[in-house]
Chain A
Amino acid sequence: MKKSLIFSLMTLFIALFLVSAFAAKALKVAMVTDTGGVHDQSFNQSAWEGLQRVKKELGVDVSFKESKQDADYAPNFETLIDGGNSLIWGIGFLMGDVILDSAKTNPKVNFAIIDYAYDKTPKNLVGVVFKAEEASFLVGYIAGKMTKKNKVGFVGGMHIPVIPPFEFGYKAGVKYANKKVEIMDQYAESFVDAAKGKAIANQMYQKGADIVFHAAGGVGDGVIEAAKEQKKWAIGVDKDQNFLAPNNVLTSAMKRVDNAVFNVTKDLKDGKFKGGQTIVYGLKEGGVDIAPSSSKHVPAAILKEVAKIKQMIIDGKLKVPTNEKDYNAFVKGL
């Protein structure tokens, strides 16, 4: 009786040992969302779609952890490190410091972050940044061409370094299309307060704007909501947001977070992980673009012009401003 118990316990231990040894071999990749959550219809969701593609095409084990508040970032990384992940993604600028700390204290685990470029990147960390201004310029151009009232709007999330390139790229695009267009802008100082986004966009529409572009995460839900109610145009961001309001989302400035997540993860699997670097994704690299659904509402003639401008930006013949100073100079030069 006693012997059989010991025997079965031993078998169990051996079995467990084998299972854990086997599990350690399978590549595990995870991501931590920011407070927007994985269904934010925006860049967290896009990142998760990238990881799902990783799972499907590369057979890697993927998972995510959502952050309900900024204080959750650090514990979420801890949990995923303890979970034996080989690569952990941080989605968003706001966790820049936390992920740097985690990378320094866990040199054996690889990390990657969206929207952050470090001055000095550790060997086990990759920063991925997007030239958001390039896609924003293109949607701005579309807005400038398509506005009937010569008034358009921009709603920003918070004043963090990621957002102004959207704003000034967009404004430059609008002015490039039509110098006479008046552009309203307002920041919500939030990425989650959808009610505020709705109120801000409502005000812009009431003041006569007919197209509003948002770079404001969850606040943008409210912007699109307002466009739906008012039967005006909204321009989405990060993902193709047309599905949120098929008749009211004109186009979207896409940030192909999914492509970036896929490529960097694939590099890791192929043993070519570009640790210690900052990778820049622009129009040229297919990292940003306008949404495929644009052809639904934007006339083909305008799309043709957009394609021409896109080529000019790729060839470096057109430099898109990313801040107020460059923008003012850009407008002066038109």
Chain B
Amino acid sequence: MLNSIAFLIGTTLLYSAPLIYTALGGVISENAGVVNIGLEGMMVLGAFTAATVGYFTGNPWFAFLMAGAAGASIALFHAIACVTYTADHVISGIAINFLGPGIALFVSTIVFEGATMTIPLSLDDKIPRPLNEVFAQNSFFDIILNQYATVYLAFILVAAVWFLLYKTRFGLRIRSVGEHPRAADTLGINVIGIKYIAVLLSGMFAGFGGAAMSIAVVSNFRPTLISGQGFIALAAMIFGKWRPFGAMWACLLFGFAQGLVVFLGGKDTIAVSSQVWAMLPYIITLVILIGVVGKSEAPSADGVPFEK
């Protein structure tokens, strides 16, 4: 019983960490008034970059940072289109979602001799597990806490982003740009500059999210590795009401649903086909979205182009 609880918590953490990074990216960008449905594409590019750089350099943290850089560079296109040229944010985001996987697969076929899957990293070249072998193997605390460092970092970043948005001058500027860019502009805030920084940060976080998948949860990239996580993170951000901690709880809920599928699917006592279990996370998400969350309100100027 105790170990079942531990398994559920541990698996929830395993699944939700990549979502949390990406949802945080969404929170930053949308609080600055730029809708970012391109998270999925940015995540794919991050996952690929991390797996490739990790494979060639053997340095997981460098690979992790490069994934952030890759996410930010593709986010730059989104920023140019949406902020400088006031294009429709959704259309630009869709373009990013095609562009990200396109670039990843194209570069992969060049680097890995025509294959769209990278070569797996060895355990030593992956992100480290800080609490590995601290507790007895498969004891209660081991199952919960023996996670990759990216899991812990995700939660630290939730607090950091919260602090940034609500306790710093820069955060206030981000939010003012998202709520009322014209007012912010008359007060002398560089609206365009703030939006650029926010979009780049969001790309960086989405890149981290991809890396948390490709060099921590598993040890290589393949085209199907990121299949919808970016969109789930987007949904999590919305029913987390555009706030860092809200988004975190939403991601944890989704991760929990995924863990529950594995847990219940492994029970002999409940004879339900595994196809039905596989639907569970999505059904839970729908039910919660319909019934529990209530009204969630976006920043007033979210998705509205700003022209000086």
Contact = CB atoms under 8 A, between A and B. Distances in A.
A203 B115 contact: no
Interface stretch (B179-187, B200-208, B214-222, B230-238): B214-222
B137 interface: yes
A61 to B, nearest CB: 15
Interface string A228-264: 1111000000000000110000000000000000000
B192 interface: no
B116 interface: yes
B293 interface: no
Given A159-B274, A199-B14, A38 B123 contact: no
Nearest to A197: B218
Contacts of B258: 195-196, 199
A208 to B, nearest CB: 9
Nearest to A189: B278
Interface residues of B, number: 42
A35 interface: yes
B263 A222 contact: no
B262 A199 contact: yes
A205 B3 CA distance: 12
Nearest to A243: B120
Contact of B274 (A187, A193, A195): A187
B123 A229 contact: yes
Contacts of A244: 120
B266 A203 contact: yes
Contacts of B10: 202
Contacts of B227: 192
A244 B273 CA distance: 31
Nearest to A200: B262
B116 A68 contact: yes
A40 B117 contact: yes
A66 interface: yes
Contacts of B219: 221, 225
Contacts of B129: 229
Contacts of A8: none
Interface string B99-136: 00000010000001011111110010000010000000
A194 B115 CA distance: 18
Contacts of B11: 199, 202-203
A68 B14 contact: no
Interface string B171-211: 00000000000000000000000000000000000000000
Contacts of A26: none
A218 B114 contact: no
A203 to B, nearest CB: 5
Contact of B224 (A68, A202, A205, A225): A68
Contacts of B222: 37, 40, 192, 194, 218
Contact of B115 (A39, A206, A230, A245): A39
Contact of A194 (B217, B273, B278): B217
A204 B262 contact: no
Interface in B257-283: 258-259, 261-263, 265-266, 273-275, 277-278
A37 B116 CA distance: 7
A186 B115 contact: no
A222 B123 CA distance: 12
B138 interface: yes
Contact of B225 (A194, A200, A229, A230): A194
B64 interface: no
B58 interface: no
A206 B223 CA distance: 30
B223 A37 contact: yes
A64 B120 contact: no
A281 B252 CA distance: 47
Nearest to B223: A68
Contacts of A35: 223-224
Interface of B: 3, 7, 10-11, 14-15, 105, 112, 114-120, 123, 129, 137-138, 143, 213, 217-220, 222-225, 227, 258-259, 261-263, 265-266, 273-275, 277-278
Interface of A: 35, 37-41, 64, 66, 68, 159, 184, 186-190, 192-196, 198-200, 202-207, 218, 221-222, 225, 228-231, 244-245
11 contacts: A37-B222, A159-B273, A192-B224, A194-B217, A195-B14, A195-B258, A199-B11, A199-B15, A206-B3, A218-B224, A228-B123
| Closest 4 A/B residue pairs (Cβ) | A39-B115, A192-B224, A39-B117, A194-B218
Given A40-B117, A199-B258, A202-B7, 16 more contacts: A35-B224, A38-B116, A39-B119, A68-B116, A189-B278, A190-B278, A194-B225, A195-B15, A195-B218, A196-B258, A198-B14, A203-B262, A207-B266, A221-B120, A222-B218, A230-B137
